[in-house]
Amino acid sequence: MDKLIEQSVLLSKGAEASLYLSNWYGRKAITKNREQKKYRPEGLDRQIRSYRTIREAQLLHQAKAAGIATPLIYMVNVSETTIIMEYIDGVQVKHYLSSASKPERREVCLKIGKLIGKLHKENLIHGDLTTSNMILSDQKIFLIDFGLGEKSVEIETKGVDLHLLKRALQSTHFAFWETCFRDVFRGYSLIVGDVLSEKVYEKICEIEKRGRYVEERKQ
Ligand SMILES: Nc1ncnc2c1ncn2[C@@H]1O[C@H](COP(=O)(O)OP(=O)(O)OP(=O)(O)O)[C@@H](O)[C@H]1O
Ligand SMILES: [Mg+2]
C-alpha cells in the first residue's frame, strides 16, 4: 500500500482525506486515504476513520446498484483506512455550473435532482451533497464522497440531505442558486413522486424555520 501511495501524486487534501492520483494495475485510479487527526483521541480517531471508510465503500456500491453513477471500487483497506477507486475523468459540477449556459445548467440540475431522487427512493442518504462531490463526465453525473452517508427511511434525513445541497448552492452559486435548486427539486419530484417530494419539501421549510429560530435565540 505504502509503495502504491509513494508512486502517487497528491491531488487534493480535503477536510477528511488525502486524495492521490495513482495507478491500479495499469488503470488510472484514485487512492483516498483518511489520515490520522491529531485533535482526536487515538482510539476514537481510528474508529471514526475505519467506520467512514467502510461506510463510504458500502454506499458507493449500494448507490451503483440503485442505478447511480459512482466510481468502481478497486480495493478497500480498513486497517489503513484507504479506498482505491476508479478515476473519473471529468469536471467538478461546481466548476461546470459556473461556466455553463442557462439551458445547460437547467439540464444538469434536473439530472442532479433525478439522481438524488433515485438515492432517496432506495433510502440512501449522501450526507454531503455539494457540487464538489459531483463529477460530470460524458454527460453523466458521478456521485462521490459518501463517507458521511447513511441508510435511512426518515423524511427528516432526506430533508437534511437536500437542505444541505440548497445551502451549498446558495454559497457556491449565489447568482443563480434559486433556479438551480428549483430544477433540482423538479428532477427529484419526477423520480420520488409528488407525495414524498411534498413531504420532503415541507421538511426543508421546517429545517429552515428551526435554523432561523436558533439564530434569533442567539441574538
Ligand atoms: N474517483 C474520483 N475520480 C476523480 N476525481 C475524484 C475522485 N474522487 C475524488 N475526486 C476529486 O477529489 C476531490 C476530493 O475528494 P472527496 O470529496 O472524496 O474527499 P474529501 O476529503 O471529502 O474532500 P472535501 O473535504 O474537499 O470534500 C473531489 O472533489 C474530486 O474533485
Ligand atoms: Mg468532498
Owner of C-alpha cell 485533535: 39
Kindly state whether residues 140 and 42 are assigned to the same domain.
no
pLDDT for 3 equals: 53
Ligand 1: which atom is nearest the Cα of residue 88? 3
CB atoms within 10 A of CB 146: 25
Q: Is any atom of ligand 1 closer than 6 Å to the C-beta of 88?
A: yes
| Boundary-marking domain end, from 67, 86, 105 | 86
Domain that includes residue 110, residue range: 91-218
pLDDT for 14 beyond 70:
yes
pLDDT for 2 beyond 70:
no
162, three cell numbers: 437536500
- CATH number, domain of 185, equals 1.10.510.10
Hey, which of 133, 141, 143, 164 would you mutate to test ligand 1's pocket, going by the most ligand atoms within 8 Å of its Cβ?
133
pLDDT for 4 equals: 56
Kindly state whether residues 68 and 117 are assigned to the same domain.
no
**Structure confidence by residue, pLDDT tens digits, 24-42:** 999 999 999 999 999 999 9
Task: Enumerate the active-site residues.
Answer: 128
- Whether the model clears a pTM of 0.85, i.e. scores above it, the answer is yes
pLDDT for 216 equals: 77
Q: Cβ(161)–Cβ(116) under 8 Å? A: yes
Kindly state whether residues 123 and 76 are assigned to the same domain.
no
- CATH number, domain of 42, equals 3.30.200.20
Kindly state whether residues 108 and 181 are assigned to the same domain.
yes
214, three cell numbers: 436558533
**Structure confidence by residue, pLDDT tens digits, 129-169:** 999 999 999 999 999 999 999 999 999 999 999 999 999 99
Q: Which helix (H) or strand (E) holds 22?
A: strand 18-24
Q: Which helix (H) or strand (E) holds 12?
A: strand 9-13
Q: Is any atom of ligand 1 closer than 6 Å to the C-beta of 60?
A: no
Ligand 1: which atom is nearest the Cα of residue 94? 29
Distances (CA, A) of 203 to 82, 163, 210: 35, 9, 10
CA-based Rg of the chain, rounded to a whole angstrom?
18
**Structure confidence by residue, pLDDT tens digits, 75-99:** 999 999 999 999 999 999 999 999 9
